[in-house]
Structure 1
Amino acid sequence: MIPLSKPEILAPAGDPSSFLAALAAGADAVYCGLKHFSARMLARNFSVGELGRLADLARQKGRRTYVAVNVLVKPDEIDKAGRMVKRLVDQVSPEGLILQDPGMAAIARQAGYTGELHLSTLANMSQPSGMATAAALGFTRVVVPRELSVDEIRAMADAANPGQTIEVFVHGALCHNVSGRCWWSSFFGGKSGLRGRCVQPCRRMYEHRGQQGRLFSCLDLSLDVLAKTLLSIPSLAAWKIEGRKKGPHYVFHTVAAYKLLRDEPDDPASKKAALDYLEQALGRPGTNYGFLPQRPKNPVDHSGRTGSGLAAGKLSRSEQGGGFHLSARIPLMAGDLLRVGFEDEAGHQIIRISRAVPKGGRYSLRFEPGQRPESGSPVFLIDRRAPALARILENMEAELAVIPEREAAPVEVNIKLPKPYRPARRVAPAAVSVWRHPDLSKEKGVFGVWVSLSRAHNLPLGRAKSVWWWLPPVIWPNEESEFAGLVELLLSRGAGRFVLNAPWQRGLFPADSKAVLWAGPFCNIANPMALAALKSLGFSGAVISPELSGADVLALPGQSPLPLGLVVDGAWPLGISRTISPEIRTCMPLASPKGEVCWAVRYDQNYFIYPNWRVDLFDHRDELIRAGFELFVSLREPLPREVPARERQGLFNWDAGLL
């Protein structure tokens, strides 16, 4: 383990002003993304040239720059990704790259990058034994999930290999689903969170048992004074602040707060100042979620607001003229950015006010026809340019102005692809149904079973040799030893085939294990370089991501170094979460305003949220056979009696494509 005196304060930046605000507030490092291959595509993001100048300014001040290239990479994007990394090498020289796709590590090295490789939280490294697997692929830092308790964070750090560290989120937005385990936006229309294009369907209103509420919308994570407990954890390299879609006001205040909490953790005045900074940061209300294992908090609070920003008042109709006025709950400054209502409501919009308004004062507003909000709509302050911060940014911009942009040279990168797998002879693809509770009287041949702690006593151990044993998509640190024990038991009973639904689950098996290991569809594998990474870890095959378009699915077997499978039928989850609103009853329908119905069910420590229609690609079976797929998977999830089945063909992104 690496003894670290102080973790970095790692700040987000979605635009140049936020980058400068992070440096001005004292951030040790800044992470950001380009206009492509970033998991925050809705942020402004950076061109390579402007990021190069900002990174040079950061280096002059002894700070570091990390660039997020943290998306799932499609089969035809490998050379494009390599060229982008080469441009980063030539014009930015970032100290670290943040990667989700396991194949991007090899792409980055082939493109000439020699700096640190950080494994994104979207890769879902959720178990200590996986740290060694990440190290084997070249990752020197792992960004751990937001759902972990302090004890679990310590377990992850204790498992770090020599030269390896972890990074922990201390503040910012919480997703309802585990990072890297959400397909909600993609399943509803091809805008994938794994590609940085999530439209946040979890923030919508849902109807459940006759009541409406934002039943999946979470508060923000805010460890504030509790972050002190992280200081004693060795191999913890960074306190990370989420917020690449936020403005410089948020970045400056959150960085200033956590710098105080890190540097003066026992000083009452510093703690008070830090909390004041966080109060002014204009985020959502905060929660420490599951950080304290003895006092976990549910982050879903549908009874309160979960929109970002500081509540600034409500709209009222003016008595004359058909306009509106805002009665300010807080003092407002000229130039303040206000959000009217919520994104999924009529009349939602962003406005900038033109004059200062005292607390209790009125500000008149007019809206275009067709964009008028309801009277009583809440208004939130989401960004501001206070004069003091504006002056700081002006000074920083003057420093930046004298730094020249590095010359952009032509870039040509041809990534060496792995040798494609070719079977000795073509055979009909195997068909495997995967069950939670198999009926052994009906399953006579090969079938799949989910490995579960809560149902370990019912696993069909007597048929261990003929079963494909499926590990869950998320294994948490506090349950890893039990899953390791189950794997050991299955191996002792002759189990020979396992499907691992995170590459890092390879660490549950002895290095010399003779078991056949396949990567499951929840590994989000989508390109030949990722498949080559799996092969280097000892995998024998992979069930690829069902998010891909039909064209990408059909192209991949010809490029893959491993035999491939695909989920062609059954229940695919919208997402997997470690929490759920106390208002939600499992196995009961929830309906969005657009009529989309879903339901939740708990397995071990995770909640699976399913839509009420199935994936159904059987019409493409002949194409898939010709393409070379060797395994067809059906995920058998029983539909609750109370949930109405929707009669539609679930093609996922086969025709629509994946953005």
Structure 2
Amino acid sequence: MEQIVRRKAGDFRGPKPEILAPAGQKDSFLAALAAGADAVYCGLKDFSARMAAQNFTPAELAALIDLAHDQGAKVYLTVNTLLKSDELLPLGRQLAWVSRHAAPDALIVQDLAVPALARQAGFSGEIHLSTLANVSHPAVLSRLGTTLNVQRVVLPRELNVDEIKQMAAACPPDLGLELFVHGALCYGVSGRCYWSSFMGGKSGLRGRCVQPCRRRYTQGEASQRFFSCQDYSLDVLAKVLAEIPQVRAWKIEGRKKGPHYVYYTTTAYKMLRDEGQDPQAKKSALGLLENALGRPGTHYHFLPQRPQNPIDTQTDSGSGLLVGTVRGGRDKPCLEPRMALLEGDKLRIGYEDDEWHQTFDLPKSVPKGGKFYFKTPKGRVPAKGTPIFLIDRREPYLLEQIAKLQRRLDAFARTVPEAGVPFNLRLAPASPKQPRVRLMHVLRSPGQRMRKTTLAVWLSAEAVNAMHTSQITHAWWWLPPVIWPDEEEQWRLLIRKVMGHGADRFVLNAPWQVALFQRSGKLNLWAGPFCNIANPLAIRTFKLLGGQGVIVSPELGQEDYEALSSKSVLPLGAVIYGHWPFCVSRTAAADLQPEQPFESPRQEQGWLARYGSLNWVFPNWPIDLRGAQDTLAKAGYRLFVQLEEPVPRSVQIKKRPGKWNWELGLR
């Protein structure tokens, strides 16, 4: 390890992209600096999209930023959660404190409100749009700097290298791109997964995902992890990104990971960037990644001519390094490791959804092939053959490096106020037009128009070709929740086609889709529910982008709906009925049959449907807030949406309340 760290930089040509390392705890932050990270991203205790990570107090953050700057590294603060109305003022105060006492180099943000809020709070650093913001196609890139004052965009992991080059070609000189090169893959497209929230209010858009996609599901006779992805790992392919000057950073996922993972992955990608032409350096880097204690790696879609499906139901998708299986009897289970284990190694028995799942720190070293007998909670004895994973370790060399940096960190410790910075939230006065109340049915394909409702159709060439001109003219056209770079032109042409028939009403399901319209001022453009808008400042930002109305995030609770309507500068709508997806994905397991039911261990059923390039995963029960329509109308909502999703004949709809977070509240 010491030899690896002390390698001299190679003959790298062109501007170097940053190696951007994750840190969800202090030792991981110090490990990133020890490995030579150019930048570290981390979060405070609140408003961070990895709330399960330890994260940092204000005083800890201030000292760590001082240390990082002393070491020549930057620090990016994650403020990448979906914001509710009552959270704007607390976040504004936090950002005012950060601007005065900590001064990170950039904020990583998801919500449309945060760029404006940060500037109100006096933050003068860069603004980076998180991958959760889902900037997935190039048209809008030229407008982000002037409209939102954004300096960098973190691209979706699903893009292939040709699509990345398309995005790069559309970047103005003052905008850079950031790309994940390593780490966990979500099944759903970032910003388009509601699975955890739908199952109990713990929203992935707010950093509280409980990872239901990692569970086993049953379809027919097969019981598999149909939605559990391997890790993303570009390894040697990352050198291709070095040839794209707009790519300013190679990002490593893992704010819930320990210092071992951070140190190994950061060191490996520095070597691949700086010494990638040296065969020995390449071999050493791959060895580090193999032992970084993540999941098996995949290149995913990066090579368009050789895409890899990240879901392999025949391959172990558990995180950590497999070190053995449970052996011995039920009264004395033991581990005979296939490699030497060190005192303090953190082990995990089984998977998170196993009833016997547990983690523990090894109290003593165990040689390869030795025996270690472990205790199990009563009634949770693992079955023989259950896999055991090494998920974190602290090698003496790494502990020494962390201790050295800790001593330097102590020198930067300072007393800082943790609250009390004045901040006045400025919101535009609510002044939406109050159109008549409308009920909108959204169809996949045109059918007989329902009486006393507004017709809406998911835009597709098939739907347009099946409709009369008068229908095309008067329908509302819904755009998909994700548009990929290589699809942008076909969507632009399809929009132009329906506009040629007189259509002028569209629902956008990413705010950036406004860039597909050349004369947006003459159109009626609404933000759809996939825009994840949940606060009045985000509504104001969408208005500045050219929007005329907002269908708010369906994740909200009753109090959130009501608080939002009284402060909105645009008319509002709400989804009150229909099949809302668990998530939308660009991939599907090869052995999961579409249009056929699958079932979770808790008897929750769903099905997968493919529309265009997207796989939609639906639960077998709908949202049903029809009983709240009068309440919403009194609060000021004017558009009520019902999603008429076709249900496969083999799927039985289950009777459930379907209120999502209406009573529970969004957490």
- Short-chain TM bin: over 0.9
**Residue aligning to 2:582:** 574
**Residue aligning to 1:529:** 537
- Structure 2 residue 152 is matched with structure 1 residue 144: no
**Residue aligning to 2:498:** 490
**Residue aligning to 2:66:** 56
**Residue aligning to 1:129:** 139
**Residue aligning to 1:212:** 223
Which residue of 26, 51, 60 maps to 1:16?
26
Q: Secondary structure at the residue paired with 2:606?
A: strand
Q: CA deviation at 1:137?
A: 1.1
For residue 296 of structure 2, what is the amino acid of its counterpart?
P
> What's the TM-score, normalizing by structure 1?
0.97
Q: Separation in 1 of the partners of 2:592 and 2:468? A: 32
Which residue of 245, 250, 262 maps to 2:261?
250
Which residue of 342, 346, 349 maps to 2:351?
342
**Residue aligning to 2:293:** 282
For residue 457 of structure 1, what is the amino acid of its counterpart?
N
Q: Secondary structure at the residue paired with 2:138?
A: coil
**Residue aligning to 2:444:** 436
Q: Separation in 2 of the partners of 1:406 and 1:459? A: 68
Contact 1:434 1:634 in 2 (8 A): yes
Contact 2:439 2:453 in 1 (8 A): no
Q: Separation in 2 of the partners of 1:4 and 1:655? A: 55
**Residue aligning to 1:370:** 379
- Structure 2 residue 365 is matched with structure 1 residue 356: yes
Residue-by-residue CA offset, 1:261-309 (whole Å, 9 max, x unaligned): 0011211111011101101101000000000000001000111111100
Residues 301/415 of structure 1: CA separation in 2 closer, same or farther (3 Å cut) = same
Q: Secondary structure at the residue paired with 1:602?
A: strand
Q: Separation in 2 of the partners of 1:598 and 1:54? A: 45
**Residue aligning to 2:508:** 500
Residues 78/48 of structure 1: CA separation in 2 closer, same or farther (3 Å cut) = same
**Residue aligning to 2:125:** 115
Q: CA deviation at 1:518?
A: 0.4
Contact 2:514 2:520 in 1 (8 A): no
Residue-by-residue CA offset, 1:560-585 (whole Å, 9 max, x unaligned): 01000000111101000000000111
**Residue aligning to 1:560:** 568
**Residue aligning to 1:416:** 426
Q: Separation in 1 of the partners of 2:505 and 2:266? A: 48
Q: Secondary structure at the residue paired with 1:167?
A: strand
- Structure 2 residue 636 is matched with structure 1 residue 638: no
Q: CA deviation at 1:557?
A: 1.1
Q: Separation in 2 of the partners of 1:93 and 1:459? A: 56
Q: Secondary structure at the residue paired with 2:19?
A: strand
Which residue of 375, 394, 397 maps to 1:388?
397
Q: CA deviation at 1:490?
A: 1.5
Residue-by-residue CA offset, 1:293-331 (whole Å, 9 max, x unaligned): 000010001111111000010112348xx1211010111
Using the TM superposition, name which of 26-35 and 486-495 deviates more: 486-495
For residue 194 of structure 1, what is the amino acid of its counterpart?
L
**Residue aligning to 1:167:** 178
Q: Separation in 1 of the partners of 2:231 and 2:143? A: 31
Residue-by-residue CA offset, 1:221-255 (whole Å, 9 max, x unaligned): 00000001111112111000000000000000000
Q: CA deviation at 1:454?
A: 5.8
**Residue aligning to 2:166:** 155
Residues 149/124 of structure 1: CA separation in 2 closer, same or farther (3 Å cut) = same
**Residue aligning to 2:273:** 262
Residue-by-residue CA offset, 1:327-372 (whole Å, 9 max, x unaligned): 1011111110001100000110111111111111111111231332
Q: Separation in 1 of the partners of 2:387 and 2:552? A: 44
Residue-by-residue CA offset, 1:76-101 (whole Å, 9 max, x unaligned): 11100101111211221000000000
Residues 460/317 of structure 1: CA separation in 2 closer, same or farther (3 Å cut) = farther
Q: Secondary structure at the residue paired with 2:657?
A: coil
For residue 100 of structure 2, what is the amino acid of its counterpart?
D
- Structure 2 residue 634 is matched with structure 1 residue 626: yes
Q: Secondary structure at the residue paired with 2:240?
A: helix
Q: Separation in 1 of the partners of 2:499 and 2:648? A: 33
Q: CA deviation at 1:464?
A: 2.2
**Residue aligning to 2:313:** 302
Contact 1:4 1:237 in 2 (8 A): no
For residue 361 of structure 2, what is the amino acid of its counterpart?
R
Q: Secondary structure at the residue paired with 1:129?
A: helix
Contact 1:445 1:466 in 2 (8 A): no
> What's the TM-score, normalizing by structure 2?
0.96
For residue 622 of structure 1, what is the amino acid of its counterpart?
D
**Residue aligning to 2:37:** 27
Contact 2:440 2:453 in 1 (8 A): no
For residue 197 of structure 1, what is the amino acid of its counterpart?
R
For residue 407 of structure 1, what is the amino acid of its counterpart?
V
Residues 441/187 of structure 1: CA separation in 2 closer, same or farther (3 Å cut) = closer
**Residue aligning to 1:379:** 388
Q: Secondary structure at the residue paired with 1:622?
A: helix
Q: Separation in 2 of the partners of 1:195 and 1:79? A: 17
Q: CA deviation at 1:386?
A: 0.6
**Residue aligning to 1:612:** 620
Q: CA deviation at 1:438?
A: 1.8
For residue 164 of structure 1, what is the amino acid of its counterpart?
L
Contact 1:91 1:406 in 2 (8 A): no
Residue-by-residue CA offset, 1:573-619 (whole Å, 9 max, x unaligned): 10000000001111100100001001010000000100001111111
**Residue aligning to 2:413:** 404
Q: Separation in 1 of the partners of 2:448 and 2:65? A: 61
**Residue aligning to 1:230:** 241
Q: CA deviation at 1:513?
A: 4.6
* Unmatched 5+ stretches in structure 1: none
> What is the aligned residue count?
653
Q: CA deviation at 1:512?
A: 5.3
Q: Secondary structure at the residue paired with 1:635?
A: strand
- Structure 2 residue 239 is matched with structure 1 residue 198: no
Residues 539/315 of structure 1: CA separation in 2 closer, same or farther (3 Å cut) = same
Q: Separation in 2 of the partners of 1:23 and 1:40? A: 21
Which residue of 302, 313, 331 maps to 2:340?
331
Contact 2:574 2:640 in 1 (8 A): yes
Contact 2:92 2:121 in 1 (8 A): yes
Contact 1:601 1:609 in 2 (8 A): yes
Residues 612/389 of structure 1: CA separation in 2 closer, same or farther (3 Å cut) = same
Q: Separation in 2 of the partners of 1:468 and 1:380? A: 52
Contact 1:128 1:155 in 2 (8 A): yes
Q: Secondary structure at the residue paired with 2:609?
A: strand
Which residue of 587, 593, 600 maps to 2:608?
600
Q: Separation in 2 of the partners of 1:437 and 1:460? A: 13
Q: Separation in 2 of the partners of 1:75 and 1:550? A: 12
Q: CA deviation at 1:376?
A: 1.9
Q: Secondary structure at the residue paired with 2:522?
A: coil
* Unmatched 5+ stretches in structure 2: 1-12
Q: Separation in 2 of the partners of 1:264 and 1:387? A: 26
Contact 1:123 1:180 in 2 (8 A): yes
Residues 465/4 of structure 1: CA separation in 2 closer, same or farther (3 Å cut) = farther
For residue 332 of structure 1, what is the amino acid of its counterpart?
L
Q: Separation in 1 of the partners of 2:62 and 2:37? A: 18
Q: CA deviation at 1:463?
A: 2.1
